[in-house]
Structure 1
Amino acid sequence: MTLATDLAIRKWKPAKDGEAIGTGGRTGLYVRGWRSGAKAFYFRAKTWIKLGDYPDTSLALARELSTVAKRLAREGFGVEALRRGFANANTATELEAVVRGEVLAGLACTGATNAPTYHELWSEWYEGRKLKLQEGPSRRRPEAIHLHHIKPVLGDRPITDIRRREIFALLEPLFRDKPVTAGHALGHIQAVFERAANKELIEADPTPRKSAFSDAVARREVKHHGTLAPDRMPELWQWLATTDASDTAKLAILTAMTTGHRIGVIVHAEWAHINDASGVWTVPARTDRSTPGRMKSGREYALRLPEALLERLKALRTDPDKQYVFESPTTTGPITPNAIRKTLKRFDPDLTAHGFRNAIKGWCRAATPPVPDHIADAFCDHSLRGLDAAYRRGDTSAERAELAARLYDFVTGVKA
Structure 2
Amino acid sequence: MRTGKHPQKALTQVRINSLSKPGRYADGNGLYLVVDPSGAKRWVLRTLVHGKRRDIGLGGLRVVSLAEARDKAIEFRKIARDGGNPIEIRRRAKAIIPTFADAAQQAYDSHKGAWRNDKHAAQWINTLKAYAIPTLGEIRVDHIETRDVMKVLTPIWLSKPETARRLKQRLSTVLDWAKAAGFRAGDNPVDGVAKGLPKQPDRKSHFEAIPFDHVADFLRQLREANANEYARLAFEFLILTATRTNEVLRARWQEIDLRQNIWVIPAERMKAGKEHRVPLAPQVVKLVSRAKEISTSDFVFPGRRADQPLSNMVFLMTLRRMDLDFTAHGFRSAFRDWAAERTNFPRDVCEMALAHAIKSKVEAAYRRGDLFEKRRDLMQAWADFCHTETGADQDGSQK
| Residues 17-28 of structure 1: pairs in structure 2 closer than 5 A | none
**C-alpha deviation, 1:195, in angstroms:** 4.2
Note closer, same or farther for the CA distance 1:380–1:156 as it changes in structure 2 (3 Å cut). same
The answer to whether 1:129 aligns with 2:111 is: yes
Q: Of residues 163, 170, 178 in structure 1, which corresponds to 2:152? A: 170
Q: TM-score, normalised by structure 1?
A: 0.65
Which residue number in structure 2 is paired with residue 153 of structure 1?
A: 135
Partner of 1:8: none
Following superposition, the deviation at residue 215 of structure 1 comes to: 4.3
1:395/1:117 CA distance change after superposition, 3 Å: closer
> Following superposition of structure 1 onto structure 2, how do residues 400-411 of structure 1 map, counting pairs within 5 Å?
400-411=375-386
- In structure 1, the partner of 2:301 is 326
- Aligned equivalent of 2:328: 353
Which range moved further: 354-363 or 236-245?
Answer: 236-245
Q: Structure 1: which amino acid aligns with 2:115?
A: L
How far 1:139 moved relative to its partner? 0.4
**CA deviations over 1:198-225 (Å, ceiling 9, x no partner):** 5554443461415634642324233331
Are the equivalent residues in 1 in contact too, given 2:176–2:188 (CA < 8 A)?
no
Deviation at 1:196, TM superposition (A): 4.0
Return the alpha-carbon distance in structure 2 between the equivalents of residues 206 and 281 of structure 1. Answer: 44
Percentage of pairs with the same residue: 22
Cα distance in 2 for partners of 1:257, 1:285 equals 21
In structure 1, the partner of 2:353 is 379
Instruction: Rate the CA distance shift 1:348–1:299 in 2: closer, same or farther, 3 A.
Output: farther
- Which has the greater radius of gyration? 1
Q: Which has the higher mean CA deviation after the structures are superposed, 349-358 or 382-391? A: 382-391
Alignment partners' CA distance in 1, 2:68 and 2:113: 49
The AA in structure 2 aligned to 1:379 is: A
The reply on whether 1:344 has 2:319 as its aligned counterpart is yes
Relative to 1, partners in 2 of residues 1:295 and 1:192: Cα closer, same or farther, differing over 3 Å? closer
Partner of 1:94: none
Q: What are the residue-to-residue correspondences of 1:260-409 with 2, within 5 Å?
A: 260-286=242-268, 294-318=269-293, 322-328=297-303, 330-332=304-306, 333-367=308-342, 369-386=343-360, 389=364, 393-409=368-384
Give CA deviations for 1:284-323 in whole Å, capped at 9, x if unaligned. 121xxxxxxx221121111221134213321222367621
For the residue of structure 1 that corresponds to 2:189, the secondary structure is coil
8 Å contact 1:257–1:407 — kept in the other structure?
Answer: no
- Distance in 2, Cα, partners of 1:103 & 1:362: 63
Partner of 1:258 in structure 2?
Answer: 240
Which SS does the other structure have where 2:126 is aligned? helix
- Structure 2's unaligned 5+ residue stretches are 1-44, 46-59, 77-86, 395-399
- Mark the CA change 1:105 to 1:275 in structure 2 (over 3 Å): closer, same or farther: closer
Q: Secondary structure at the match of 2:129?
A: helix
Does 1:186 pair with 2:161? no
Aligned alpha-carbon RMSD (Å): 3.2
Query: C-alpha separation between the residues in 2 aligned to 1:300 and 1:269?
Result: 13
C-alpha displacement at 1:331, in angstroms?
3.4
Q: Is the 8 A contact 2:146 2:190 kept in 1?
A: yes
Query: Letter of the aligned partner of 1:159 in structure 2?
Result: V
Please name the residue that 1:102 is paired with: 65
Unaligned runs of 5+ in 1: 1-83, 85-96, 287-293
CA contact (8 A) 1:179 1:217 kept: no
Structure 2 equivalent of residue 412 of structure 1: 387
CA drift at 1:102: 0.3
Q: How does 1:11-22 map to 2 (within 5 A)?
A: none
Which amino acid in the other structure matches residue 213 of structure 2? D
Tell me which amino acid in the other structure corresponds to 2:335: I
Q: Is the 8 Å Cα contact of residues 175 and 213 (structure 1) preserved in structure 2?
A: no
- Asked whether the equivalents of residues 282 and 301 of structure 1 are also in contact (C-alpha less than 8 Å), the reply is yes
CA contact (8 A) 2:144 2:189 kept: no
**What are the Cα deviations for residues 18-43 of structure 1, in whole angstroms up to 9, with x where unaligned?**
xxxxxxxxxxxxxxxxxxxxxxxxxx
Q: For 1:355 and 1:106, locate their aligned partners in 2 and report how far apart those are by CA, in whole Å.
A: 57
Aligned residues: 310
Q: Distance in 1 between matches of 2:280 and 2:181?
A: 53
Instruction: Write the distance in 1 (CA, Å) between the matches of 2:68 and 2:186.
Output: 31
CA 1:380–1:176 in 2, change beyond 3 Å: closer, same or farther?
Answer: same
Q: Give the TM-score normalised by the residue count of structure 2.
A: 0.68
Taking the aligned partners of 2:314 and 2:181, their CA distance within structure 1 comes to 48
Superposition deviation, residue 152 in structure 1 = 1.0
Q: Secondary structure at the match of 2:313?
A: helix
- Residue 65 of structure 1 aligns with which residue? none
- Report the CA distance shift for 1:192/1:315 in structure 2 as closer, same or farther (over 3 A): closer
> Structure 2 counterpart of 1:129, which letter?
H
Q: Contact 1:306–1:404 (CA<8 Å) still a contact in 2? A: yes
